[in-house]
Amino acid sequence: MDCMLKDNTRALNVASNLTAPQQRTIFTKERISIPGYYEIIQFLGKGAYGTVCSVKFKGQNPPAKIAVKKISNIFSKEILLKRAIRELKFMDFFKGHKNIVNLIDLEIVTSSPYDGLYCYQELIDYDLAKVIHSSVQLSEFHIKYFLYQILCGLKYIHSADVIHRDLKPGNILCTLNGCLKICDFGLARGIHAGFFQCQTNSSAVQPHITNYVATRWYRAPELLLSNQPYDKSVDIWAVGCILAEFYARKPVFMGRDSMHQVFEIIKMLGTPDKDLLVRFGTIKAWNLGKHSNNPVYKKIPWSSIFPFASPEAINLVESLLHWDSTHRLSVEQAISHPFLNEVRKPDDEPVCLQGPFDFTYESELNSMSKLRDYLVEEVNGFKAELSSPPL
């Protein structure tokens, strides 16, 4: 244990030396210590992960509210460390895009009992789930505007060869002025084939990404019925589900388990083709076919489900929610769809100029001390960049 603590202390001292401000504001009851130029406004929540509070800059008028999340015990928990590193790497990589959430500051506090990783982020009160499932009236123009922002963010993410893997309304934050920001990169994965080659040192590259794909309601059919590798089209399916949810005002495929989820999709999209079921390559997929005893469902036209939606909207839903992932639109095609013409700004749809996301660092982090050191390096790098003068 001494060894681990020593490791921790060494790593954390590096961080604290670099980042320690001269004055601290301390709130003893909730064990929060933040730089003196912040003033705590209110505690927003507390859970197993740590504590969240809202703060503002002292003397600032009008006050800019910031959410501070303190994550305790992060340095002894492998899963939290991995998630923190992954999420910070992605947020750092995608920073600056208006539809992807931005981190304001990071800090590692070492002095007990206030120790932990402190993350500072602009305070966004709502997520899209709260907006969709409320009584707020959404015109088709709002839907277009929201969807366009989601696709702009996703275009940026996909251009770096990254799959989000957990797109859903709950993971899209919504500011009061209607600006959407994609968040939660805890399950995101880089998929650039070149980096798989680097990781495996093998010429025969078979991108292998593991099975963790969250939130069943937004899960693509190939993830439910096949065990084969998947690609960016799983995010496109999720976007299709979100678009349909805008009109339905509730999730469109609400399965209780994976097979019920499949039947929910079949009820709307109809029984899939035999060829596709064969390509899925599983018995459960084969058993769904017309040859089995299962009833054969016909596709229900989206126009009869959403009679109030425009033909362009219906066409886009159909193009996104397709059984066959190869028939789904890419994010670039979706963004160019006539449905979004009214809100589109083609000059403001950037791609990630840094190229594909390099995830080879993951294979180097094969011990807890390396994970800790890496997190500290990430935080220090973030602070250093923050203090450097703008270009």
Partner 1 sequence: MNVDEKLQQDENQIHALFHKKTSGFLTKENAATKLKDPDNIRLRNLNFNHRKYFKGEKKAKPIPVQENLEKLFDRKVDSGLESDGLTDINLDYIPDSPLIEKISEPGHSTLITPKNIIHLQSDSDLIIEECDRNYDCGPFYHLYNYENRIESDDYEAIIEAIIKDEISGTYPVFERELEYQELKGLVRKRDYILYYLFSKDHMGFFQLKEERLLFYAYPSIAYTSPLRYLDNGSEDELFTQEDDELLQTLDFENMSSMRTLDSNIWH
Nearer to partner 1, 53 or 276 (CB): 53
- Residue 13 gets which letter from DSSP? H
What's the sign of the alpha-carbon dihedral 107, 110, 111, 116?
Answer: positive
Q: Report the C-alpha gap between 387 and 255 in whole angstroms.
A: 48
Q: Report the C-alpha gap between 284 and 159 in whole angstroms.
A: 34
- The one segment of 184-192, 236-244, 308-316, 329-337 that binds partner 1 by CB under 8 A: 184-192
Site residues (CB under 8 A) for partner 1, limited to 324-353: 342-343, 348
Q: How far is CA 208 from the centre of its chain?
A: 20
Q: How far is CA 118 from CA 7, 66, 127, in A?
A: 20, 12, 22
Q: Report the C-alpha gap between 370 and 372 in whole angstroms.
A: 5
- The one segment of 120-128, 238-246, 263-271, 309-317 that binds partner 1 by CB under 8 A: 120-128
Q: Single out the residue of 91, 167, 236, 334 in contact with partner 1 (rule: CB under 8 A).
A: 91
Closest separation between CB of residue 300 and partner 1, Å?
27
Q: Single out the residue of 176, 204, 298, 304 in contact with partner 1 (rule: CB under 8 A).
A: 176
- The answer to whether residue 105 is catalytic is no
70 is in an annotated binding site: yes
Q: Report the C-alpha gap between 222 and 234 in whole angstroms.
A: 8
Q: Report the C-alpha gap between 220 and 51 in whole angstroms.
A: 34
Interacting residues of 93 by C-beta distance below 8 A, sequence separation 6+:
160, 352, 354, 357
Closest separation between CB of residue 299 and partner 1, Å?
26
What's the sign of the alpha-carbon dihedral 17, 19, 25, 31?
Answer: negative
Q: How far is CA 13 from CA 68, 256, 367, in A?
A: 21, 48, 20
Q: Single out the residue of 208, 275, 295, 347 in contact with partner 1 (rule: CB under 8 A).
A: 208
Exactly one of 105, 166, 184, 235 is catalytic; which is it?
Answer: 166
Q: Single out the residue of 211, 293, 304, 353 in contact with partner 1 (rule: CB under 8 A).
A: 211
Q: How far is CA 289 from the centre of its chain?
A: 34
31 binds partner 1, rule: CB under 8 A = no
112 binds partner 1, rule: CB under 8 A = no
58 binds partner 1, rule: CB under 8 A = yes
203 binds partner 1, rule: CB under 8 A = no
Kindly determine how many residues on this chain lie close enough to bind partner 1 according to the rule CB under 8 A: 123
Which pair of structure tokens corresponds to residue 219? 């899960």
- The one segment of 141-149, 288-296, 308-316, 326-334 that binds partner 1 by CB under 8 A: 141-149
Which pair of structure tokens corresponds to residue 342? 């009214």
Q: Single out the residue of 62, 203, 293, 308 in contact with partner 1 (rule: CB under 8 A).
A: 62
52 binds partner 1, rule: CB under 8 A = yes
Nearer to partner 1, 117 or 239 (CB): 117
Nearer to partner 1, 4 or 193 (CB): 4
Site residues (CB under 8 A) for partner 1, limited to 262-301: 282-284
Positions annotated as catalytic residues are 166
